[in-house]
Structure formats: C-alpha cells, structure tokens
Chains A and B, each alone.
Chain A
Amino acid sequence: GAGVSQTPSNKVTEKGKYVELRCDPISGHTALYWYRQSLGQGPEFLIYFQGTGAADDSGLPNDRFFAVRPEGSVSTLKIQRTERGDSAVYLCASSLSGLSTDTQYFGPGTRLTVL
C-alpha cells in the first residue's frame, strides 16, 4: 500500500519568503506528526495532530510556523518570513491512532533550503 508522501521533495526559497510543505499520511491514520531534522542531528518534534486538531504544537519554534489538517488527512506546514536557520529536512509521520506504542510511518521528507 501507499506510504506517507511529502511534497515537494526539495524546496529552495529566499529569505523572507513564505513556503508550504505538504504531507499525505497513510489512509485511515488519525495521528499525524511533523518533525524537523537539521544536518547531523536527529529529528525534532514540531507538532502532533489527532484528527483535525493540533493536540500538541509545543515543538513549533515560533509563530512563523503554523500547520493545518483541515479534513483529518492531508496536512500542510506553513512557514512565514523564512530565515536561513529554517533550512532543514522536514519530516512527516503518521500512525494509526496516536498511541505511544503505535508504529510511526515516516515520509521521505522535504529538504528546505533558505538562501
């Protein structure tokens, strides 16, 4: 079956621009997570959705970052006024119900480069 997909795979933008990153989770998975991975580091949690609602957004670094999941499936991570420090790989994962014992299935990531 189809796994988690993310688009675009690569995004190059200029400082100050707005970007949107898309995640298509596995069909039927109610839980969706966004993580960010800087070079040489492990992924860092950004936000967790259960259905349409953001149950935990404690990992979003500041108010330039926002994410939505309006119909409980596809999610979009939005970054306003991008900065060079936002350059990273943004990973999306989904799991069946969000329980901590659930397996999380990760997408291939979107590599964001801010020039």
Chain B
Amino acid sequence: DAKTTQPNSMESNEEEPVHLPCNHSTISGTDYIHWYRQLPSQGPEYVIHGLTSNVNNRMASLAIAEDRKSSTLILHRATLRDAAVYYCILPNAGGTSYGKLTFGQGTILTVHP
C-alpha cells in the first residue's frame, strides 16, 4: 500500500502562509491525494483533494509535484482557527474503489497570534 509521510509538527504565525508537505513516493498513477484536518475535540473535516493538477478551493490550495511523489497543502493566510492536525491520505492506496481512509499521525499545526 502506498504510504504518506508528514512532519510531526509545524508552526506558523497568524496571517502568514503555511506550506504543509507530504511525501508519497510509492503513489500509483490512479491514487488521488486527499487532505483532511481535525480541529481539537472534533471529527476530521475534508480540506481538498487532487490527482495531477494543482487545485484550489476556498479553504486551501494543493500543489502536486510533477512526479506526484509529493504534495503540499497551502493555507494562504493562517488564522487561529486553522490550528489542527492535518492528514495527507491516499484513499485508493489499499486497492479499494471505496473511501477506506488510512490516517497516519498527521502534522500538528500550531498558529501563533
């Protein structure tokens, strides 16, 4: 199964951009890259996903390397509400066609005022 590797923690200041990296060197051609985040005492929430091209939505941007072996979640202006654990996930990686999410340890993002 393709696995993801993320830094254990990162810090940012409020209103500054944050770049959260994820390595997935064994990704296959059909594996989508999904990002979820989990705020304290809440269930995870979807952030963004992509396959090959960079993606933007109202929450964040996803930059995918040309070889797809890594990706970066970009929060353009971090707020205190963005403090959470961020998970990079490959839902297809187990060979299933359904969304069996395998969460790793994720990256704990701390945002300083």
Q: Do A and B come from one complex?
A: yes
Binding site for B on A (CB under 8 A): 4, 31, 33, 35, 41-45, 48, 50, 55-56, 91, 93, 95, 98-109
* Contact between chains at A100 and B92 (CB < 8 Å): yes
Nearest CB of chain B from residue A4's CB, rounded to whole Å: 8
* Contact between chains at A100 and B44 (CB < 8 Å): no
**B102 adjacent to chain A (CB < 8 Å):** yes
Segment from B10-18, B19-27, B65-73, B93-101 that makes contact with A = B93-101
* Contact between chains at B101 and A43 (CB < 8 Å): yes
* Contact between chains at B43 and A100 (CB < 8 Å): no
* Contact between chains at B87 and A56 (CB < 8 Å): no
Binding site for A on B (CB under 8 A): 32, 36, 41-46, 49, 85, 87, 91-92, 96-106
Q: Give me the 4 closest cross-chain CB pairs, A-B, nearest first.
A: A42-B103, A106-B43, A100-B91, A103-B46
* Contact between chains at B43 and A42 (CB < 8 Å): no
- What are 6 A-B contacts with C-beta separation under 8 Å? A31-B98, A33-B99, A33-B101, A95-B99, A98-B98, A107-B43
Nearest CB of chain A from residue B7's CB, rounded to whole Å: 14
* Contact between chains at B97 and A99 (CB < 8 Å): yes
